[in-house]
Structure 1
Amino acid sequence: MKTKPLQIQYTYSDLDKVYQVLTSTDKELHTFFHKHIENEYNGDKSLMLHYFDIAEIGKFLIDKLKKGDTSKFELFFEKTEEILNHGDADAQNLIIVGLFEGIQNIGGKEINYHSSFNKWLKPESKLMWDYLIDFWEGTDWRNSKK
Protein backbone atom coordinates (compact mmCIF):
# COMPACT_ATOMS: atom_id res chain seq x y z
CA MET A 1 0.00 0.00 0.00
CA LYS A 2 1.41 3.38 -1.01
CA THR A 3 1.16 6.27 1.35
CA LYS A 4 0.09 9.63 0.05
CA PRO A 5 3.04 12.07 -0.12
CA LEU A 6 2.82 15.05 2.19
CA GLN A 7 1.55 18.15 0.49
CA ILE A 8 3.92 21.14 0.37
CA GLN A 9 2.28 24.14 2.02
CA TYR A 10 5.29 26.25 2.96
CA THR A 11 7.74 27.44 0.32
CA TYR A 12 10.63 29.82 -0.12
CA SER A 13 8.48 32.04 -2.31
CA ASP A 14 6.08 32.53 0.61
CA LEU A 15 8.15 32.44 3.79
CA ASP A 16 5.84 35.12 5.17
CA LYS A 17 3.36 32.28 5.66
CA VAL A 18 5.89 30.53 7.92
CA TYR A 19 6.18 33.63 10.10
CA GLN A 20 2.40 34.08 10.14
CA VAL A 21 1.85 30.52 11.31
CA LEU A 22 4.54 30.67 13.98
CA THR A 23 3.55 34.07 15.37
CA SER A 24 -0.15 33.18 15.36
CA THR A 25 0.51 30.86 18.29
CA ASP A 26 1.06 33.68 20.78
CA LYS A 27 -0.34 37.20 20.72
CA GLU A 28 2.73 38.55 22.51
CA LEU A 29 5.05 36.86 19.99
CA HIS A 30 2.97 38.26 17.15
CA THR A 31 3.30 41.80 18.52
CA PHE A 32 7.01 41.33 19.29
CA PHE A 33 7.81 40.04 15.81
CA HIS A 34 5.85 42.73 13.98
CA LYS A 35 7.61 45.41 16.04
CA HIS A 36 10.91 43.82 15.06
CA ILE A 37 9.98 43.99 11.35
CA GLU A 38 8.84 47.57 11.72
CA ASN A 39 12.02 48.61 13.55
CA GLU A 40 14.45 46.75 11.27
CA TYR A 41 12.83 47.32 7.88
CA ASN A 42 10.27 50.07 8.36
CA GLY A 43 7.69 47.34 7.84
CA ASP A 44 9.00 46.40 4.38
CA LYS A 45 8.98 42.60 4.51
CA SER A 46 10.76 42.38 1.15
CA LEU A 47 13.94 43.48 2.94
CA MET A 48 13.83 40.72 5.52
CA LEU A 49 16.94 38.72 6.34
CA HIS A 50 15.15 35.49 7.14
CA TYR A 51 17.77 33.75 9.27
CA PHE A 52 18.38 36.91 11.26
CA ASP A 53 14.66 37.50 11.70
CA ILE A 54 13.73 33.99 12.78
CA ALA A 55 16.58 34.16 15.32
CA GLU A 56 14.60 36.98 16.94
CA ILE A 57 11.80 34.49 17.49
CA GLY A 58 14.37 32.17 19.05
CA LYS A 59 15.48 34.91 21.43
CA PHE A 60 11.85 35.51 22.35
CA LEU A 61 11.41 31.80 23.18
CA ILE A 62 14.57 31.68 25.27
CA ASP A 63 13.43 34.70 27.27
CA LYS A 64 10.05 33.03 27.83
CA LEU A 65 11.71 29.77 28.90
CA LYS A 66 13.96 31.58 31.38
CA LYS A 67 10.89 33.29 32.88
CA GLY A 68 9.01 29.99 33.06
CA ASP A 69 6.34 31.39 30.75
CA THR A 70 5.97 28.42 28.39
CA SER A 71 2.19 28.09 28.13
CA LYS A 72 2.25 28.82 24.37
CA PHE A 73 5.16 26.53 23.54
CA GLU A 74 3.03 23.44 22.84
CA LEU A 75 1.17 25.13 20.00
CA PHE A 76 4.30 26.88 18.73
CA PHE A 77 6.19 23.61 18.39
CA GLU A 78 3.18 21.89 16.83
CA LYS A 79 3.48 24.54 14.11
CA THR A 80 7.23 24.00 13.67
CA GLU A 81 6.45 20.32 13.17
CA GLU A 82 3.80 21.19 10.60
CA ILE A 83 6.28 23.35 8.69
CA LEU A 84 8.91 20.60 8.77
CA ASN A 85 6.39 18.06 7.48
CA HIS A 86 4.80 20.30 4.85
CA GLY A 87 7.58 22.66 3.84
CA ASP A 88 9.95 22.72 0.92
CA ALA A 89 13.69 22.47 1.66
CA ASP A 90 13.99 26.24 2.19
CA ALA A 91 11.12 26.40 4.67
CA GLN A 92 12.50 23.37 6.50
CA ASN A 93 15.99 24.91 6.65
CA LEU A 94 14.56 28.13 8.03
CA ILE A 95 13.19 26.12 10.95
CA ILE A 96 16.18 23.80 11.41
CA VAL A 97 19.12 26.11 10.75
CA GLY A 98 17.44 29.42 11.47
CA LEU A 99 15.22 28.72 14.45
CA PHE A 100 16.52 25.54 16.09
CA GLU A 101 20.22 26.22 15.60
CA GLY A 102 19.62 29.84 16.55
CA ILE A 103 18.03 28.78 19.84
CA GLN A 104 20.89 26.40 20.53
CA ASN A 105 23.53 29.04 19.74
CA ILE A 106 21.86 31.87 21.61
CA GLY A 107 20.66 29.75 24.51
CA GLY A 108 23.85 27.78 24.96
CA LYS A 109 25.12 30.06 27.69
CA GLU A 110 21.75 30.55 29.35
CA ILE A 111 19.82 27.27 29.11
CA ASN A 112 20.45 23.56 28.69
CA TYR A 113 19.63 23.43 24.99
CA HIS A 114 20.26 19.68 24.96
CA SER A 115 17.01 19.03 26.81
CA SER A 116 15.21 22.24 27.82
CA PHE A 117 12.80 22.08 24.87
CA ASN A 118 12.35 18.30 24.73
CA LYS A 119 8.84 18.22 26.15
CA TRP A 120 7.55 20.47 23.34
CA LEU A 121 9.48 19.07 20.39
CA LYS A 122 7.46 16.75 18.16
CA PRO A 123 9.06 13.70 16.42
CA GLU A 124 10.54 15.37 13.31
CA SER A 125 11.51 18.48 15.27
CA LYS A 126 13.26 16.39 17.93
CA LEU A 127 15.09 14.44 15.25
CA MET A 128 16.36 17.64 13.61
CA TRP A 129 17.11 19.31 16.97
CA ASP A 130 19.30 16.37 18.00
CA TYR A 131 20.88 16.12 14.55
CA LEU A 132 22.14 19.70 14.91
CA ILE A 133 23.73 18.92 18.25
CA ASP A 134 25.26 15.74 16.83
CA PHE A 135 26.65 17.72 13.90
CA TRP A 136 28.41 20.25 16.13
CA GLU A 137 29.26 18.13 19.19
CA GLY A 138 29.24 14.51 18.11
CA THR A 139 26.99 12.03 19.88
CA ASP A 140 28.59 11.75 23.33
CA TRP A 141 26.17 14.38 24.65
CA ARG A 142 23.34 11.86 24.28
CA ASN A 143 24.74 9.87 27.22
CA SER A 144 26.07 12.71 29.35
CA LYS A 145 23.35 15.38 28.98
CA LYS A 146 20.17 13.38 29.63
Structure 2
Amino acid sequence: GLDAEHVDLLKYVALLHDVGKVGVPDAVLKKADNFTAEEYEEMKKHVDIGADIISAMKTLGQGADWVRYHHERWDGTGFPEGLKGEEIPLEARIIACADAFDAMTTDRPYKERMTYEEAKEEIVRCSGTQFDPEIVKVMVKIIDEKLMGK
Protein backbone atom coordinates (compact mmCIF):
# COMPACT_ATOMS: atom_id res chain seq x y z
CA GLY A 1 0.00 0.00 0.00
CA LEU A 2 0.79 3.65 -0.24
CA ASP A 3 1.41 5.68 2.90
CA ALA A 4 -1.03 8.46 3.82
CA GLU A 5 1.27 11.26 2.64
CA HIS A 6 1.70 9.60 -0.75
CA VAL A 7 -2.07 9.06 -1.04
CA ASP A 8 -2.62 12.77 -0.33
CA LEU A 9 -0.07 13.72 -3.00
CA LEU A 10 -1.81 11.38 -5.44
CA LYS A 11 -5.19 12.99 -4.67
CA TYR A 12 -3.88 16.48 -5.41
CA VAL A 13 -2.05 15.45 -8.57
CA ALA A 14 -5.12 13.50 -9.73
CA LEU A 15 -7.28 16.60 -9.33
CA LEU A 16 -4.84 18.48 -11.60
CA HIS A 17 -4.09 15.66 -14.06
CA ASP A 18 -5.67 17.54 -17.00
CA VAL A 19 -4.20 20.97 -16.19
CA GLY A 20 -2.28 20.77 -19.47
CA LYS A 21 -5.52 21.30 -21.35
CA VAL A 22 -4.93 25.02 -20.76
CA GLY A 23 -2.48 24.72 -23.65
CA VAL A 24 -4.99 23.07 -26.02
CA PRO A 25 -7.11 25.35 -28.25
CA ASP A 26 -10.72 25.79 -27.08
CA ALA A 27 -11.96 24.76 -30.52
CA VAL A 28 -10.43 21.33 -29.92
CA LEU A 29 -11.47 21.04 -26.27
CA LYS A 30 -15.11 21.90 -26.96
CA LYS A 31 -15.52 19.98 -30.19
CA ALA A 32 -18.62 17.76 -30.17
CA ASP A 33 -17.54 15.53 -33.08
CA ASN A 34 -14.63 13.14 -33.50
CA PHE A 35 -11.20 14.75 -33.72
CA THR A 36 -9.32 14.98 -36.98
CA ALA A 37 -5.82 13.48 -36.85
CA GLU A 38 -4.40 16.99 -36.40
CA GLU A 39 -6.83 17.82 -33.57
CA TYR A 40 -6.04 14.53 -31.84
CA GLU A 41 -2.34 15.38 -31.93
CA GLU A 42 -3.16 18.78 -30.38
CA MET A 43 -5.19 17.11 -27.62
CA LYS A 44 -2.44 14.60 -26.86
CA LYS A 45 -0.07 17.48 -26.04
CA HIS A 46 -1.97 18.15 -22.80
CA VAL A 47 -0.10 15.37 -20.99
CA ASP A 48 3.31 16.92 -21.61
CA ILE A 49 2.07 20.45 -20.94
CA GLY A 50 0.46 19.25 -17.71
CA ALA A 51 3.57 17.37 -16.62
CA ASP A 52 5.65 20.51 -17.20
CA ILE A 53 3.24 22.55 -15.06
CA ILE A 54 3.16 19.99 -12.24
CA SER A 55 6.95 19.53 -12.30
CA ALA A 56 7.34 23.26 -11.62
CA MET A 57 5.23 23.01 -8.46
CA LYS A 58 7.33 22.51 -5.34
CA THR A 59 4.84 20.34 -3.46
CA LEU A 60 3.49 18.30 -6.38
CA GLY A 61 6.52 18.04 -8.66
CA GLN A 62 7.16 14.36 -8.05
CA GLY A 63 3.77 13.65 -9.64
CA ALA A 64 4.74 15.04 -13.05
CA ASP A 65 5.17 11.60 -14.62
CA TRP A 66 1.79 10.50 -13.26
CA VAL A 67 0.24 13.32 -15.29
CA ARG A 68 2.43 12.60 -18.32
CA TYR A 69 1.46 8.92 -18.42
CA HIS A 70 -2.21 8.92 -17.41
CA HIS A 71 -3.23 8.12 -21.02
CA GLU A 72 -0.91 5.13 -21.30
CA ARG A 73 -2.78 1.82 -21.55
CA TRP A 74 -2.05 -1.49 -19.84
CA ASP A 75 -1.64 -3.17 -23.26
CA GLY A 76 0.86 -0.56 -24.51
CA THR A 77 -1.42 1.21 -27.00
CA GLY A 78 -1.67 4.52 -25.15
CA PHE A 79 0.30 7.75 -25.36
CA PRO A 80 2.69 9.59 -25.14
CA GLU A 81 5.26 6.76 -25.13
CA GLY A 82 3.30 3.52 -25.54
CA LEU A 83 4.34 2.26 -22.11
CA LYS A 84 2.92 -1.13 -21.15
CA GLY A 85 1.91 -2.85 -17.91
CA GLU A 86 4.09 -2.05 -14.95
CA GLU A 87 6.25 0.29 -17.05
CA ILE A 88 3.43 2.77 -16.36
CA PRO A 89 3.77 4.35 -12.91
CA LEU A 90 1.22 2.90 -10.45
CA GLU A 91 -0.15 6.37 -9.75
CA ALA A 92 -0.73 7.03 -13.46
CA ARG A 93 -2.60 3.71 -13.70
CA ILE A 94 -4.83 4.77 -10.80
CA ILE A 95 -5.46 8.20 -12.32
CA ALA A 96 -6.26 6.62 -15.71
CA CYS A 97 -8.96 4.40 -14.24
CA ALA A 98 -10.49 7.17 -12.11
CA ASP A 99 -10.34 9.62 -15.03
CA ALA A 100 -12.15 7.20 -17.34
CA PHE A 101 -14.87 6.55 -14.76
CA ASP A 102 -15.30 10.30 -14.24
CA ALA A 103 -15.45 10.93 -18.00
CA MET A 104 -18.06 8.21 -18.47
CA THR A 105 -20.28 9.46 -15.64
CA THR A 106 -20.15 13.15 -16.58
CA ASP A 107 -22.14 14.77 -19.39
CA ARG A 108 -19.85 15.73 -22.27
CA PRO A 109 -20.58 17.87 -25.37
CA TYR A 110 -20.22 14.73 -27.48
CA LYS A 111 -21.78 12.09 -25.22
CA GLU A 112 -24.44 11.67 -22.56
CA ARG A 113 -23.21 10.32 -19.24
CA MET A 114 -23.49 6.68 -18.23
CA THR A 115 -24.92 5.37 -14.98
CA TYR A 116 -22.41 4.23 -12.36
CA GLU A 117 -23.32 0.62 -13.17
CA GLU A 118 -22.76 1.10 -16.92
CA ALA A 119 -19.43 2.84 -16.32
CA LYS A 120 -18.34 0.12 -13.91
CA GLU A 121 -19.15 -2.52 -16.53
CA GLU A 122 -17.09 -0.62 -19.11
CA ILE A 123 -14.13 -0.36 -16.72
CA VAL A 124 -14.34 -4.13 -16.15
CA ARG A 125 -14.62 -4.76 -19.90
CA CYS A 126 -11.40 -2.79 -20.44
CA SER A 127 -9.50 -4.59 -17.66
CA GLY A 128 -6.26 -6.00 -19.02
CA THR A 129 -6.33 -3.86 -22.17
CA GLN A 130 -6.84 -0.24 -21.16
CA PHE A 131 -6.55 -0.69 -17.39
CA ASP A 132 -4.41 -2.59 -14.90
CA PRO A 133 -6.57 -5.55 -13.75
CA GLU A 134 -5.51 -5.06 -10.11
CA ILE A 135 -6.55 -1.40 -10.18
CA VAL A 136 -9.88 -2.43 -11.74
CA LYS A 137 -10.56 -4.86 -8.86
CA VAL A 138 -10.04 -2.08 -6.32
CA MET A 139 -12.02 0.42 -8.42
CA VAL A 140 -15.02 -1.94 -8.66
CA LYS A 141 -14.98 -2.42 -4.89
CA ILE A 142 -14.89 1.35 -4.33
CA ILE A 143 -17.70 1.98 -6.86
CA ASP A 144 -19.86 -0.71 -5.27
CA GLU A 145 -19.25 0.39 -1.68
CA LYS A 146 -18.95 4.17 -1.92
CA LEU A 147 -21.14 5.08 -4.90
CA MET A 148 -23.70 2.30 -5.14
CA GLY A 149 -24.06 1.42 -1.45
CA LYS A 150 -23.55 -2.31 -1.99
TM-score, length-scaled by structure 2: 0.34
Higher RCO, 1 vs 2 (CA within 8 Å, ≥6 residues apart):
1
TM-score, length-scaled by structure 1: 0.35
Whichever structure has more helix as a proportion of its residues is 1
